[in-house]
Structure 1
Amino acid sequence: MSGWRVIAVLLGAFGMYLSWTAPPALGQSAGEASVIEDDRLTIESDNTDVEELRRLSRQIGRVPGTLLNTLVRQDRASARRAVARFLARGNAAPKLMAARAIALINQVRTDPRVQTRGRTLELASLVSDMVARSVSSPRVIEISVDGDYIPPANARAYDLGGEDDPAAIGFEKLTPAGEIATGHRETPFASDSLGPLLADGIANIRRISLPLANGTYRVILLTGRSAARNLPTAPFGETLTANSTRYYLGEARPATWIGGARLLRPTLAASNKAGRIGLSGLARELDEAPWLRPGGEAVGIAFKVDIVHGFLTVRFEQPGPGGGVDLSAIIVEPAGQSSSLVHGREVVRAAMGQEIADTLSRRYDADPDMAAALAALGANMAPAHASDIVTAAVRSHPQAAKLIVTVVSRLDGVDSQAIRAAIQDDPGLTRDARIAALAALPDGEH
Structure 2
Amino acid sequence: MTEKLTLTILGGGGFRVPLVYGALLGDDSPIGRVVLHDVDDGRLAAIRRVLAAQAATSPAAPAVEATTDLTAALTGADFVFSAIRVEGLAGRVVDERVALGEGVLGQETVGAGGVAYGLRTVPVATAIARRIALVAPAAWVINFTNPAGLVTEAMAAHLGERVIGICDSPSALARRVVRALGRRADDVRVEYAGLNHLGWLTGVRQGSENLLPRLLGDDDGLSSVEEGRLFGRSRLRDLAAVPNEYLRYYYDTAEMVRAELGAAETRGEFLLRQQQECYRELASEDPLGAWEKALRQRDATYLALEGLGERDDAEGGGYERIALALMTAIARAEPAELILNVRNAGTIAALDDDAVVEVPCRVDGSGAHPHPDATVPAHGIELVRRVKATERAILAAATQGSRTMAVRAMAAHPLVDSEPIARRLVDEYVSRLPSLSYLR
TM norm structure 1: 0.24
Highest CA radius of gyration, 1 or 2? 1
> Which one has the bigger helix percentage?
2
The structure whose RCO (Cα within 8 Å, separation 6+) is larger is: 1
